[in-house]
Structure 1
Amino acid sequence: MRRLLAALAAVVLLAPPAAAEPRERWDTEVFSLVPAPGYPAYVHVHTNGRVYAGTYVASGSTVPSRVFEWTRDGTLLRSWRVPGQPLDEDHGVQVANQTRDGRLVLLETSTRSVLTLDVRTGRFRRVATFPDGAVPNYASWGPGGALYVTDYAQGIIWRLPRGSRTPEPWLETPALAGALEFGTTGIRYRPGRRDFLITQQTVSDGSGLPTNGALYRLPVGADGEPGELEKLWTSQPGDLPDGFGIGASGHVYVALAGLSNQLVELTADGEEVARFPEVPLTGDNGSPIPFDTPCSATFLGKRVLVANQSAIAGDASHQAILDVYVGETGRAPYLPRAARFRS
């Protein structure tokens, strides 16, 4: 009997641990709080396996923006202060992308600049400057190794050609002009379809109510020029569609930074599939921190990381990265071999 019990004990000890219970769809956890100055923007998942986000600054603050770095489990590792910002005016930095060799691509608003940050050395470098009036917002690599940048203040998609330091207006249209200062936000290139997806917070070209936002599709011709802008989806009034991620299914998960405080799931053709939470306004997602100006949705495994900005309330306890389980993996942002800047 003793031998039998010992054998059974050995089997139990050697058996692999039971698999963790899978999270339910839309289950939300706190990935990490975002330290001062807070107001996190787009969350970038780097090819080095780490997670980065920049910060905006409340109006009137003289604190420089910072870039934060986390592990994949939400442990804060380090941060860098953004140099050269005029601190007597509104300023912020978006970790918008990365280069092929691993430098972060930053969009700084007060100097209207494209910067890079080498996370190995901590060195910042200015790559390009946009003209007066521009507010660079999101960026995607695209055809020809160019960087394409949305402008939150003007109806323009900028292109920074490979090897150039001078952004050029690539697409200018009233459809992207925006109303009430709520303009163009997310942009992602889909190489298989040879098009961009673009989110617009408000539409002021007469195609809908000015309080409605949109998801657009923009094809790119063989000559590299933009085709005709196509509206795939119209948001509800006041949704303010912002950053988004694309799942392996082709579904698009969009953060709604407006009063609804929700995530919306769309098919690749723009059909609305689901909203989370189902009840708008409160942002009650089941986690200790409700959605409060959710402004991006970036895939990390089968979950999306949501930057919770609390832009209106300015509640530092809500300024966080939230982790929302969606049950499918995402498509990595397009990163061609030519995704780099001239030295």
Structure 2
Amino acid sequence: MFTKLSKAALSAVGLSAAAVLATSALAVPSASAASAPLSDARVAVHFDLAAGQTPENVAPAPHGGSYVTFAKARQVAEVSRTGTIRVLATLPLPADGGVHTPALGFPLTLGIVRGHDGTLYFLYATGTADLTGVWRLRPGGQPERIAALPADSLPNGLALDARTGSLYVADSALGTVWRVPTSGGAAQSWSTDPALAPSGFLGANGLKLRDGAVWVTNLDRGTIVRIPVLPNGSAGQARVTATGLTGIDDFAFTGRGDQILAALDTVNQVALVQPDGSHSIVLTAADGLEGPTSIALRGDTVSVLSAAYLTGTDPDLVLAHLNN
């Protein structure tokens, strides 16, 4: 989810991205566009960088909106399908200001998912033992930490297994996938496979569950890693399924087998990754991307969320149509 920048540059530009899942269907693609994987790309929402509107991650909300984390503002918010923003919670600032947050030096909210009962689960990294970990926000309630993670961790990607009541967390600093019960309690180090480790900056990043496996990206290595969940719930042997994905951040499955749309934030691109590991570039800066970090799908509508890490101008939401 993060571009490798100096702390000064990060402070100047702001951080993160994610945003609204659009619900209105895009126009049916023309015959000339039908052969392309994506068509009809357009910028749908412009976020206010000066106001700290730098959403990092996204979870679908009822009625077509989204729940997002504003990383640098330490906030969880609801964004309507028309772009109206309502802050639901602001997390406490650590006593030292978060100067020991791994790799970045300031606190930030990260991955977010929504349970079937409307409970939001999200991640907070501060470089301190009293605040870093997995947090929960019940409808109408107040944010509360339900599981501590090490102060030197950077919990990033998050996925919910509703069947087992488990949350899986990708730790970019420690190269670990943690497992935490939704009821709260001790975090379990589920996998520390070397394929998750950073190589100079940040490792394990985006995380999704699919067909009995945990899928994780590695930003430094430009890879996608698949780790099967064994019958006893433990982690199986990790396997790299795709390489050469420069600056890969979060991703989404298209619903067509193991085909993936991946955000390549350092190069302002979105890649379509096939099950055999090959990939092609399907969106670029010419489509409005400015450091894309998150991707979400609703039906055949693709939402690409940009943080403007390097440009420092226009964090935005780009919509496109996923063709059959």
Report the TM-score, using the length of structure 2 for normalisation.
0.78
Cα distance in 2 between the residues matched to 1:91 and 1:26: 37
Q: Does 1:295 align with 2:305?
A: no
Report the alpha carbon displacement of residue 327 of structure 1 after superposing the two structures with TM: 2.7
Amino acid at match of 1:37: G
Residue pair 1:26, 1:326 contacting (<8 A) in 2 also: yes
Q: Which residue number corresponds to residue 140 of structure 1?
A: 159
Q: Does 1:44 align with 2:44?
A: no
**Could you tell me which of 101, 125, 128 is aligned with 2:117?**
101
Q: Which residue number corresponds to residue 156 of structure 1?
A: 176
Q: Which residue number corresponds to residue 170 of structure 1?
A: 190
- CA distance 1:92–1:31, shift in 2 (3 Å): farther
Cα distance in 2 between the residues matched to 1:91 and 1:122: 22
Q: Which residue number corresponds to residue 200 of structure 1?
A: 218
Cα distance in 1 between the residues matched to 2:178 and 2:145: 17
Q: Which residue number corresponds to residue 257 of structure 1?
A: 265
Post-superposition CA distance 1:66-104 (Å, at most 9, x none): 2232233x3314123413122823122125211221111
- CA distance 1:156–1:240, shift in 2 (3 Å): same
Residue pair 2:218, 2:248 contacting (<8 A) in 1 also: yes
Amino acid at match of 1:276: V
Q: Which residue number corresponds to residue 321 of structure 2?
A: 325
**Could you tell me which of 283, 286, 309 is aligned with 1:284?**
286
Residue segments in structure 1 that go unaligned for 5+ positions in a row: 1-18, 58-63, 204-212, 329-343
Residue pair 1:68, 1:76 contacting (<8 A) in 2 also: no
Structure 2 matches for 1:59-74, cutoff 5 A?
Answer: 64-72=73-81, 74=82
Cα distance in 2 between the residues matched to 1:292 and 1:32: 13
Report the alpha carbon displacement of residue 284 of structure 1 after superposing the two structures with TM: 1.2
Q: Which residue number corresponds to residue 21 of structure 2?
A: none
Report the alpha carbon displacement of residue 230 of structure 1 after superposing the two structures with TM: 0.7
Identify, as 1 or 2, the structure richer in strand. 2
Report the alpha carbon displacement of residue 21 of structure 1 after superposing the two structures with TM: 4.4
Q: Which residue number corresponds to residue 84 of structure 2?
A: 76
Q: Does 1:30 align with 2:43?
A: yes
Cα distance in 2 between the residues matched to 1:80 and 1:291: 27
Residue pair 1:252, 1:267 contacting (<8 A) in 2 also: yes
- CA distance 1:91–1:162, shift in 2 (3 Å): closer
Cα distance in 2 between the residues matched to 1:184 and 1:54: 19
SS in 2 for 1:123: coil
Q: Does 1:215 align with 2:224?
A: yes
Q: Does 1:127 align with 2:146?
A: yes
Cα distance in 2 between the residues matched to 1:231 and 1:77: 38
Cα distance in 2 between the residues matched to 1:140 and 1:28: 27
- CA distance 1:21–1:124, shift in 2 (3 Å): closer
Residue pair 1:45, 1:299 contacting (<8 A) in 2 also: no
Report the alpha carbon displacement of residue 56 of structure 1 after superposing the two structures with TM: 2.1
SS in 1 for 2:293: coil
Computing the radius of gyration from Cα coordinates, the structure with the larger value is 1
Report the alpha carbon displacement of residue 264 of structure 1 after superposing the two structures with TM: 0.6
Report the alpha carbon displacement of residue 175 of structure 1 after superposing the two structures with TM: 1.6
Q: Which residue number corresponds to residue 4 of structure 1?
A: none
Report the alpha carbon displacement of residue 301 of structure 1 after superposing the two structures with TM: 2.6
Higher RCO (C-alpha under 8 Å, 6+ residues apart): 2
Report the alpha carbon displacement of residue 47 of structure 1 after superposing the two structures with TM: 4.7
Q: Which residue number corresponds to residue 4 of structure 2?
A: none
SS in 1 for 2:164: helix
Cα distance in 1 between the residues matched to 2:85 and 2:171: 31
Amino acid at match of 1:66: Q
